[in-house]
Structure 1
Amino acid sequence: MDTHPFTIERTYNASVEKVWKAITDKEDMRQWYFDLQEFKPVVGFTFEFYGKGSSGQDMKHLCEVTEAVPPRKLVYSWRYEGYSGISYVTFELFPEASGTRLRLTHSGLETFPPLADFAKSNFAKGWTELMGSLLKSFVENNP
């Protein structure tokens, strides 16, 4: 079993503050991430959202902020209603000459049941789309 976390890094032509706002402001998040009813980058804050499973079923995500160091680091737990397992998503922001480098690490994927929806490759595909296309487009193309 692969117990290594999934990690992706991308550099955006945008300031650390702009990228931080994009990953912590619910209105910004709704434009590139998921439709969150509420979000606050505050330790202990819980939030939930729905995503689609491989067969089109709604999957309720249950999350709790476990670390927030504005504007550098955000960590939250990530689990699913009705399934065992808990994982953690970590966003780390680094100022670069050309903008901001973001490192996303999703650890604990091996704690989920051995189902296709929880395959590491599915998380890799989703995060690559979110970080590599949707967030990039949002922070680089919106004033």
Structure 2
Amino acid sequence: MTDPTPAIHCDQFLPHPPARVWQALTDPELHARWWVPGDIRPEVGHRFTLDLGPWGTQSCEVTRVDPERLLSYTFAEGVLDTTLTWRLTPEGTGTRLFLTHEGFDLDTPLGRQALDGMGRGWPAVLHRMSETI
């Protein structure tokens, strides 16, 4: 049996106040600029989809919201069944953004492949966010 809670942990300093970073995480138009299109809204229970292009449209549901501090949602329901949690912490004149992507099933080839690929990909996505917003 493998570790039941494998996760990706990233953090990125963004030279923007928490309100701006929050907007980038929760406004569909801004979200599409730095990551992928989707009809995200910061409301617990809101079900939405993210269009990951070659990886298909993925179903998600918002599970936790603390405006300008925390956003958590299920990701790729029925496929990966993982969770993304974004935590914002003010730092100087900017924001430290922490991402935890957890729940990968390492007992499946898809789970192992996703953990490896997303582990390499998330830092680039967060860097793009820093430059885009």
**2: CA distance, partners of 1:13 / 1:70:** 19
Alpha-carbon contact 2:105-2:112 (below 8 Å) kept: no
Partner of 1:92: 87
Partner of 2:96: 101
**2: CA distance, partners of 1:108 / 1:116:** 9
Q: Once the two structures are superposed, what CA deviation does each residue of 1:15-35 show, in whole Å capped at 9, x if it has no partner?
A: 010001011111111111111
**1: CA distance, partners of 2:111 / 2:104:** 12
Question: Once superposed, which parts of structure 1, at least 4 consecutive aligned residues long, lie more than 6 Å away?
Answer: none
Identity of aligned residues (%): 29
Please report how far the alpha carbon of residue 129 of structure 1 lies from its aligned counterpart in structure 2 after TM superposition.
1.3
Partner of 1:44: 45
- Tell me, which stretches of 5 or more residues in structure 1 are unaligned? none
TM-score (norm 1): 0.82
Partner of 1:21: 23
Instruction: Give the root-mean-square deviation of aligned CA atoms.
Output: 2.0
Residue 113 to residue 61, structure 1, CA distance change in 2 (3 Å): farther
Alpha-carbon contact 1:59-1:80 (below 8 Å) kept: no
Task: Tell me the matched-pair count.
Answer: 131
1:137 is matched by which residue type in structure 2?
E
TM-score (norm 2): 0.87
**2: CA distance, partners of 1:40 / 1:21:** 10
Matching residue within 4, 7, 27 for 1:5: 7
Alpha-carbon contact 2:13-2:94 (below 8 Å) kept: yes
2:60 paired with 1:63: yes
**2: CA distance, partners of 1:46 / 1:65:** 7
